[in-house]
Structures are given as C-alpha cells and as structure tokens.
Structure 1
Amino acid sequence: MIKKHYLTLLTLTFSLFFFSCSTLKTVDGNKKIDTALVGIWGGEETDQQVEGVTKKWKMTRKDDGTFSLEFLVQMGDRKRESIETGNWWVEKDVFYEYHSVSGKTTTYKYKVLDKNSIDFKVLDAHFKFNADSYTFIDKRLTEEKTVKEQGLTVETAIKVNSVTEEYQYLKKHYPNSQFLGQALINSDRDKYYDKLTFKTKEGETKSLYFDITSFFGKGF
C-alpha cells in the first residue's frame, strides 16, 4: 500500500513538473501560442524568395497571439520597407501566421533551438520561392526587447502633427546628432510612419519612428 501511494505521488509530481515547464498558452479563439516565441526577433535571407533580393525583417510576436512584421527588401540600390500585421498560433510543431490584409495563412515547421534562436521551414505559403526549400532562423533581439525609449519600434512610434515636430524631437532628445536619412513606411493598417535614421554624438546609428497618419497626404 505504501509503495502504491509512493508511485502515485511520484507520477503526480512528474506531471506537475512537466505541466509547469510547458510553454503553451491559450489565447482568444482557443488557439495555442508557444511563449518561447514571444518577443522581438530578427533575421535575413538572400536569393531564397527572389533571386538577387535580400530580405531583412523584425518580427514582434506578442503573448496575445498578434504580431507585427517589419520588412526591408533590397535589390541592388533599391530599397523598400513595409509592415504587416496579423495573428499567430501553433499546433504541435507547426507555426501558423495569418496576415490581416491578404487574409492568407502561411505555415512553417518550427523548432526552438535555444531561448534566442528559432528554426523555421515553410510548409505552405501563398507566394512562390526561388529556393526549393525555404528555411530561416529568427534571432532574438535582446537589446531591443529591453529598450523603453519611445519611437525605437513601430509599436512605440511617436505621434506628431507635422514633420517639423519630428526634427524638434530629434534635436531635443538626441542633440548634436547627424541626420542620415528619412523613409516613409505604410503599414497594412492604413497607418503611415516616418523613419528617421541618424548617428548620435557618441557615434551610434539609430532610427526613430514617427506616426504621421494624422496629417499624411493633407498638404504637410
């Protein structure tokens, strides 16, 4: 009898241990997310989707099952930036990425290599690839995850009412910085952003995002 109770207690202990170590969480719609994938991640690839094209991205996956994906696509001297949003979830070792504007879902087989690296291999996508097998690794952007300054990500973009306010903000918070460039970004949520890139007086290159939706296209 004592042995039986001991085995029951041991089984319960192991069950509680593995349950507590689970990284799965249920969100709206009864979908599961793997919290090991939550955070800000970055990656890049060349020639896999389109020959001669380099694609860099920053993926922000939140623990409510939503994501924001910033792309920088470069072909020669030409560059294009875009932002996509949507929902994500997992089923076993398959990652689902639903894109709000296209209404399409891309699926990947994923494997968590360690807390800072995730391996993805496409299973089904609504676009074609130059490579026979499209794979990539997301790397956790640990520094960006801990940054609390406004404007360093699209999610924390600074709302302004004019371009003048952008430069005033830059002058106030980053005095004696060297302006490097400006880019317009249109997200799939009908939002518009200015991205100002500059070099601080300490020599560090940074970018600030400004939400210009309120006045974009209104004769500013």
Structure 2
Amino acid sequence: MAGVWTGSEKDQQIDGLSKSWEMTRMDDGTYTINFKFTQGEMTDSSQAVGDWWTENGKYYEFHDYDGKTDVYSYTVLDPKRVKFKSEKIAIGMENSEYEFIDTKTGNAKKETITEKDGSSYENAIKIGSVPQEYQYVRANCTGCILKSQSLSVNKGRFYDIIIVTKPDGSTKSYYFDITSFYGKGF
C-alpha cells in the first residue's frame, strides 16, 4: 500500500460535496494526504498527516490533527487499485456505507535529511502544513522546547522559522518552506 494514490468521491460525506485527494503512504508507516473539496461554486483544500498500517485484513489511518484513527476494510482489486469501505470513521457522513477506490499513480520517495535539513533558507524543508513542521521538529529534536516561531520572506518565497531550546540549553533553528500553502484557504 506504500506509494502515491489518488481517489475521489461525491455526496458521501456531505450532499453536494465532491472531494478528491492524493495520498502519499511511506514505507515507514507515515502518510500525507492533500484534499480538494468542491461544493457549488466554492473550492477549498486541506492537508493531513499521520500514520497508517494494516492488521488482520483492516487498514488503519491515524490522524495527527485530531488523534483519532479511521478503520477500513479493503480489497485489492489489482496492483494499482484498492477498494476501501469504512468501518469506523472520525467524521460524520451522509452515507454510513462510505466506499472509495484509490488508484496508485507512483512510488513514494522521502527526502533525505542530508539534502534538506532545515538549517538555512537554502536547506529549508518543503512542507504542506504547519502541523508537519512540529512533527519534523519533534522527530528530529528530542526534548527540545519551542522558543519562537516567525514568518520570513526570502527571494520571493515564504518561510516559517522555528527556534527551539535543546536540552543542553543551546538553541537550534529550523527553516520550513511554506510557499505551497501560505495564504491559501483562508
């Protein structure tokens, strides 16, 4: 199930709402999903991150944003298509029989920390949401405490700079490129 997957559905969560997504499931059990919502003339987008796994024929999707886990039964239709049916889902649905098909469009590749370590504008980590910034800092700076977060513009691109205090009392700065989502969806 690792890889880049796309899907869509209409009228299943909310009557008149169309939703499409691209989900990247990494081999390490993490995921990022980008949603696009359309209802009438209005369009919006969002992103979620979390963990995924399969166990006893079920697919589990833990969301970092709310701490809840969705559970789906699934059927592999062929090497590029998987059909999901909700069994336990965190948000309300118009349809209690929520089903969708994900189609594999590519392989997931994670940037290595040596390429982009967040140490400067040039080495800023490209992310798709503010929660991903905190997830990265937590994973790469054990015991660190947030000191400050600021917005910066450099060469026409937008950055969040997070400064943390390390357990030894020193400080470390992390640069995140937020150009892909800054000012969108508000």
Structure 1 residues without counterparts, runs of 5 or longer: 1-36, 151-155, 162-184, 192-209
Q: How does 1:64-83 map to 2 (within 5 A)?
A: 64-83=28-47
- Which has the higher relative contact order, 1 or 2, with Cα contacts under 8 A spaced 6 or more apart? 2
Match of 1:9 in 2: none
2-structure distance, mates of 1:42, 1:91: 22
2:57 pairs with 1:93: yes
Match of 1:28 in 2: none
| Partner-residue secondary structure (3-state), 2:14 | coil
Does structure 1 conserve the Cα–Cα contact (< 8 Å) formed by 2:31 and 2:49? yes
Q: How does 1:1-220 map to 2 (within 5 A)?
A: 37-142=1-106, 145=107, 186-189=129-132, 212-214=158-160
**Aligned residues: percent identity?**
32
User: What displacement does 1:212 show?
Assistant: 3.0
> How many residues align structurally?
128
Structure 1 residue runs of 4 or more that deviate by more than 6 Å after TM superposition: none
User: What displacement does 1:213 show?
Assistant: 3.1
Does structure 2 conserve the Cα–Cα contact (< 8 Å) formed by 1:84 and 1:187? no
Does structure 2 conserve the Cα–Cα contact (< 8 Å) formed by 1:110 and 1:118? yes
1-structure distance, mates of 2:42, 2:130: 19
Q: Deviations over 1:62-83 (max 9, x none)?
A: 1100000100011112111111
TM-score, normalised to structure 1, is 0.52
Structure 2 residues without counterparts, runs of 5 or longer: 122-127, 135-155, 162-177
TM-score, normalised to structure 2, is 0.61
Does structure 2 conserve the Cα–Cα contact (< 8 Å) formed by 1:93 and 1:109? yes
Does structure 1 conserve the Cα–Cα contact (< 8 Å) formed by 2:62 and 2:68? yes
Q: Deviations over 1:141-177 (max 9, x none)?
A: 14xx499xx9xxxxx9xxx96xxxxxxxxxxxxxxxx
Larger Rg: 1
| Partner-residue secondary structure (3-state), 1:119 | strand
Does structure 1 conserve the Cα–Cα contact (< 8 Å) formed by 2:21 and 2:34? yes
Which AA in structure 1 matches 2:132? R
Match of 1:30 in 2: none
